[in-house]
Amino acid sequence: MAYDSTFNGSRWIPSLAALPRKYTQFVYYGISIGLFLLTWQVMALWIVPELLPEIGPVSAEMWALVESGVFFTHLAATLRRVFVGFLLAFGLSVPLGIVMGLDERVEYLVEIPILIGISVPGLAVAILTIIWFGLAELTAYVSVFLLATPMIVFNFWQGTKSIDQDLIKMGTVFEAGWPRMARHIILPSLLPHLLAAARFGLALSWKIVVIVELLGLTSGIGYMINNEFQLYSIVGVMAWTLNFTIVMMCIEFGLIKTLERRVTKWRSDSNGEVRA
């Protein structure tokens, strides 16, 4: 949806012109990662060597964390907090967002709290939940729930409002009935919004969890990043952050993008060609 491979890069880099189209995406992904690593190494060697460690020691530390298993212990704690909070938020937001899109009384009732919720800083939510619920697991779940819910509701609310009323009328003419309309018209219209909500909701969730862990818990990625910070180990901070980022990228590419490709098959099938 937001990305596609129709960009014609071969005009700029002639040697890529011969590559099959499906590889284009991966070639450019590779270039992107390569540029990132190159910039990092150049900065570490010559520009800010005292602030930025080289790739070598950081990747060695990343591997050590994985090999010893300590990374996975804390990853499990963080992911549990992210997913419990996120699923609670998702479970409430889907019906609420849909009802907001269908009934304008509910829309007016909930609109302002949602918009306030979207603009509240994550740090404030983290501090307040720690004050209210103490240094406990529940604090992480509640803070994810509070931060992610408004954002997910917003997506479903807008998605429901964008359902094509003409298709509903078509369904009515053919006497489809509500269960069939829900399955064939409403749900397929909402799927792209469901994926967008999952993507942004998860991103928000893990950011708040890391803050809560840093401020008030004794396990998790955020706690370990803070630990390394207390030791003033830049290598440690970077190794934990990068390892966790890689896991989140795996979720994005392995789960969300795969789902996205499946549900938008009808879109990519056409290749943008139109017959006369």
Partner 1 sequence: MTAITLDEVTKQYPQTDGTQLEVLSHISFETETHDFVSILGPSGCGKSTLLNLIAGLDTPSGGDVIIGDTDRPTDVTFVFQEPRLLDWRTVRENLIFALKSKDVPKPEWESRVQRYLSLVGLSEFGDEYPQSLSGGMKQRVAIARAMAIEPDVILMDEPFSSLDEITARELRSDLIDIWQQEEQTILFVTHNAQEAAYLSNRVLVLSDRPTTVVSDRSVPVERPRSPDDPDLLHLSEQLISALHGGS
- Pairwise CA distance, residues 92 & 96, whole Å: 6
Contacting residue, 15, 105, 166, 218, with partner 1 by CB under 8 A: 166
Asked if 6 interacts with partner 1 (CB under 8 A), we say: no
As given in the structure block, the two tokens for residue 106 are 């509910």
Task: Name the residue type at position 233.
Answer: S
Candidates 34-42, 76-84, 163-171, 205-213: pick the segment binding partner 1 (CB under 8 A): 163-171
- Pairwise CA distance, residues 268 & 261, whole Å: 8
Name which of 11 and 265 has its Cβ closer to partner 1: 265
How does DSSP classify residue 163?
Answer: S
Residue at token pair 């009934």: 103
Contacting residue, 127, 185, 242, 259, with partner 1 by CB under 8 A: 185
Asked if 170 interacts with partner 1 (CB under 8 A), we say: yes
What is the three-class DSSP state of 257? Answer: helix
Q: What is the CA radius of gyration of the chain?
A: 23
As given in the structure block, the two tokens for residue 96 are 């609420």
Candidates 60-68, 114-122, 249-257, 264-272: pick the segment binding partner 1 (CB under 8 A): 264-272
Asked if 178 interacts with partner 1 (CB under 8 A), we say: no
Find out whether 1 and 264 touch, Cβ atoms under 8 Å.
Answer: yes
Shortest Å, Cβ 25 to partner 1: 21
What is the three-class DSSP state of 17? Answer: coil
Asked if 269 interacts with partner 1 (CB under 8 A), we say: yes
- Pairwise CA distance, residues 244 & 275, whole Å: 47
Task: Name the residue type at position 269.
Answer: D
What is the three-class DSSP state of 175? Answer: coil
Contacting residue, 122, 171, 201, 236, with partner 1 by CB under 8 A: 171
Name which of 9 and 192 has its Cβ closer to partner 1: 192
- Pairwise CA distance, residues 70 & 59, whole Å: 15
Shortest Å, Cβ 106 to partner 1: 23
Over the window 120 to 159, marking each residue x when it contacts partner 1 by CB under 8 A and - when it does not, the resulting string is ----------------------------------------
Contacting residue, 6, 173, 178, 218, with partner 1 by CB under 8 A: 173
- Pairwise CA distance, residues 271 & 106, whole Å: 40
Contacting residue, 5, 40, 188, 207, with partner 1 by CB under 8 A: 188
Name which of 31 and 170 has its Cβ closer to partner 1: 170
Contacting residue, 184, 203, 253, 254, with partner 1 by CB under 8 A: 184
Asked if 270 interacts with partner 1 (CB under 8 A), we say: yes
Name which of 12 and 174 has its Cβ closer to partner 1: 174
Name which of 50 and 269 has its Cβ closer to partner 1: 269
Find out whether 170 and 219 touch, Cβ atoms under 8 Å.
Answer: no
Residue at token pair 């060697």: 45
Find out whether 207 and 125 touch, Cβ atoms under 8 Å.
Answer: no
Asked if 169 interacts with partner 1 (CB under 8 A), we say: yes
What is the three-class DSSP state of 210? Answer: helix
List interacting residues with partner 1 (CB under 8 A): 166-167, 169-177, 180, 184-185, 188, 263, 266-267, 269-271, 273-276
